[in-house]
Amino acid sequence: MNVGVVGNPNYPDLGAFLATLQQKASSVGLKLYSEERIQALWPAGDGAAPPPISAAPAALDCLITLGGDGTLLRGARLLNGADTPILGLNLGRVGFLTTAAPDTLDWALDAIVRHAYTTEPRLALQSTITGKGAKGGGGRVEPLVLNDVVVHKGGVARVVRLKVSVDGDEVAQYSADGIIVSTPTGSTAYSMSAGGAR
């Protein structure tokens, strides 16, 4: 199985954890591919760093993210809509989206190898930002997102007029500092972080 690894290099023990992951993945027959930003953190010597994800076959069998929710969201963006399962391994304090922890690594790798897991499909958003006077429906297509899209006024010292359309149908117009359009994944995280229900 080909497994991609995405990590947050700001975690101080990430290098040591990558060494553990590499040894355990090898023992169960997983071939790892590394995100380039953590390439230098893999152990040197016999267990050389895995090849970059860009060198992986057309489709990874799974993606493991090491960090928190932000790392998982970055991993989802990297997959760009591919139907690849993501295992979020939480190395931080709070992970609304992550499902495993360092002490459950053996269990998680075993589940991947045996396909003994269930996937939870998530909605994603594809957004296009068009400015005043854009002709022919043109605009700036933004990357696919799992969480939310935020449009705001930036450094402008006044409110902006926003027209929101979904699949070509106008939903509403707003005068505001900005707007957040969220998937169910994003709205659940906002609710939980504010002390609400899951």
Query: pLDDT (tens digit, 9 = 90+) per residue, 35-72?
Result: 999 999 998 766 577 888 888 877 899 999 999 988 99
* Residue 122 domain-assigned (yes or no): no
Whether 103 is catalytic: no
Q: Output the CA torsion sign for 92, 101, 188, 62.
A: positive
pLDDT at 98: 86
Same domain for 110 and 139: no
> Does 121 reside within a domain?
no
The backbone torsions φ and ψ at residue 175, rounded to the nearest 5 degrees and listed phi first, read -110, 115
Residue 198 lies in a domain: no
CATH number at residue 39: 3.40.50.10330
Of 80, 114, 148, at which residue does a domain stop? 114
In a domain, 120, yes or no: no
Prediction pTM value: 0.82
> Range of 56's domain?
2-114
Sequence-distant (6+) residues with CB within 8 A of 102 are 17, 89, 91
**From 69, 103, 106, 177, the catalytic residue:** 69
Q: What pLDDT shows up at residue 112? A: 94
Same domain? For 91 and 137 the reply is: no
**Do 163 and 90 sit in the same domain of this protein?**
no
Torsions phi, psi of 164, nearest 5?
A: -105, 125
Residue 173: the pLDDT is: 93
Query: Tokens standing for 95?
Result: 């992970």
In a domain, 123, yes or no: no
In the chain, which residues have pLDDT < 50? none
